[in-house]
Amino acid sequence: MLPSNNQFSSQPRPSALVDSTTSMQVDKNEASFVARDEMQNGEFSQAKSIIESSKKLQDDLRMLGMKIKQHEDSIKLLKTQKNKLDDSILDMQVMLGKYHSSSAPKTENKDQLHLQSEEETTEQILRHEKSAAGILCQLKTRHGTQASHLTLTKDVLGPVAALGKVDDENLSRLFSEYLGVQTMLAIVCKTYEGIKALETYNQDGCIDKTSGLHGLGASVGRSLDGRYLVICLESLRPYAGDFVADDPQRRLDLLMPRLPNGECPPGFLGFAVNMIHVDSSNLFYDTASGDGLRETLFYNLFSRLQVYRTRAEMVLALPCISEGAVSLDGGMIRSPGVFSLGSREEVDVRFLKPSATSDVPQNYIETEKQMKEMRWEKEKLVEDMKRELALLNSVKFNFESKKQDFVKFLAQSSSYATQHQFQAARDRSTPR
C-alpha cells in the first residue's frame, strides 16, 4: 500500500515543473516584447524629434532668406531714389549757375558790398588769434571752399558772428554786447559728430594737442589757448510754434507783449530773433529734422528778447517782459529782475551787414530752397542705406550661422540613421 501511496503522491510534480517552465518562457517573451516596444517607442520619439528639429531649422533658414531679400530690395529702392535726387540737384545747380552768369554784371557792386562786409567780420575774428573761430577763419582764408571738405570742418557751419546779419550798426553792436564776445566766437556744428572731431583726448583724458583744432592751430601757427564754446544744432530744442505767413525769412510768429490793459507797450520794435537776417541757404534743413538757423541757433541765443526804442519805454514795459529786453540807447535787461547797468561794452566782433541780395527773384530763392531740401533728403537716404546695409549684413551672418547648424544637424542625423540600421540588422541576425 505504501509504495502505491508514494507513487500516487509523486505524480503531480512533473506537471508543476512543466507549468513553471512554461511560465518562465512566457515571462521571458513578455519581457522581450516590452523591451522591443520600449525600443521602438524610443526610436519613434527620436525620429519625431529629428523631423521637428529639421523642420524648425528649415523654417528659420527660409525666414532669414526672406529677410535678406527684403533688405536687398530696400537698398535697391533707396539707391534708385538717391540717383533721382542726384539728377534733380544737378539740374537745379545748372539753373542757378545760369542765373549767376546772366546777372553777374548787374550785381557786381552788390556782391562787392557783401564781400567787404564778410571781410570786415573775418578781420574782426582773426584779431582773436588764439581762438577757435580765429583758427577756422585762418584756414578758410588760406584754403577757401576746400576747407569745408576737410573731415575736421565738414560739419562746421562757422562762428556765430558769421551766420547772421543785422542791417543796423547800432543793433549789431547791441546784440553783440548782449551775447558777449565768447558767444559771438562760438563754433556752430550741425551734429555731435562734428564736435567730437574738433577735439580728441588721449588715454589719460588729456587733450591731444596733435589732432583736432589744436593740431590745426599748430599747423597754421596759431596755438589754441583756454576754453571755447561749440554749439551743436541737433542738441538744441527748436522753436515749436508757427512762422510768419508768406515771409521769405521765416520769422517766428511770436505773441506780441501786452500790458495789463491789453495794449502793446509803446516803443516796442520787435523780437531780436526776428531782426537777424539769415541767408536763404540756412533757412531750412540745417538739422536732421529740417530746422533752420533761426528756430534753432538764434532762438536759443535770443529766445524772446524784446527790443525797445528807449530805456524809459523799456522800463515802462517791465510787466510784460518775460525773457529780457534791450533798448537802442543801451538799456539792457538780462532776464526778469536782472539789469545790466554801467557803460556800454564795445564788443569787437559783430554780425555781418546784409548785402543787397533781397533783389534776388523769388523763384531763385525757391529753387535754392528746393535744392537744399533735396540735399537734406539725400543725406537721409544715405543714412537709411547705411542702416539697411548693416541690417542686411547682420541677417546674412545669422543665415550663415544657421546654415552651418543645419549642416551639422544633417550630419548627426545621418550618423544616427546609420547606427540604427546597423543595430536593426544585427538584431535580425541574432537567433531568438
Q: What is the pLDDT of residues 248-264, one digit of tens each?
A: 888 999 998 988 888 88
Whether residue 342 sits in one domain with residue 260: yes
Three cell numbers at 140? 578758410
Residue 278 in domain: yes
Residue 334 in domain: yes
- Print burial letters for 183-206: b (CB count within 10 Å at least 16), e (below 16): bbbbbbbbeeebbebbbeeeeeee
Q: What is the pLDDT of residues 10-57, one digit of tens each?
A: 445 555 444 555 555 545 555 555 455 555 555 556 666 767 777 787
pLDDT score for 286: 73
Q: Determine the Cα–Cα distance for residues 298 and 379; give it in Å rounded to an integer.
A: 24
Mean pLDDT for the stretch of residues 390-394: 90
Whether residue 275 sits in one domain with residue 326: yes
Residue 35 in domain: no
pLDDT score for 30: 54
Whether residue 153 sits in one domain with residue 268: yes
Domain boundary pick from 299, 334, 359: 359
Mean pLDDT for the stretch of residues 226-241: 92
Q: Which residues contact 16 (CB under 8 A, 6 or more apart)?
A: none
Q: Determine the Cα–Cα distance for residues 199 and 215; give it in Å rounded to an integer.
A: 9
Whether residue 386 sits in one domain with residue 292: no
Quote the pTM value: 0.61
Whether residue 366 sits in one domain with residue 226: no
More confident residue, 402 or 96: 402
Domain boundary pick from 359, 376, 408: 359
Q: What are the E-state strand segments in 242-305?
A: 268-271
Q: What are the E-state strand segments in 116-249?
A: 156-159, 187-189, 230-232
With CA atoms as reference, report the closest residue to 351 among 303, 298, 394, 300.
Answer: 298
Whether residue 393 sits in one domain with residue 267: no
Q: Which residue type does 28 have? A: K
Whether residue 277 sits in one domain with residue 380: no
Q: Which residues pair with 273 in a beta bridge?
A: none
Whether residue 344 sits in one domain with residue 232: yes
Least confident stretch, 235-244, 279-288, 352-361: 352-361
Residue 215 in domain: yes
Whether residue 299 sits in one domain with residue 195: yes
Whether residue 222 sits in one domain with residue 124: yes
pLDDT score for 113: 43
* Number of independent structural domains in the chain: 2
Residue 323 in domain: yes
Whether residue 231 sits in one domain with residue 118: yes
Residue 103 in domain: no
Strand 230-232 with 325-327, pairing: unpaired
Whether residue 269 sits in one domain with residue 369: no
What is the spatial order of strands in the sheet that 332-335 belongs to?
268-271, 306-308, 325-327, 332-335, 338-339
* Per-chain mean pLDDT for the chain: 78
Residue 330 in domain: yes
Residue 413 in domain: no
Q: Which residue type does 364 have? A: Y
Which range of residues forms the domain containing residue 188?
114-359
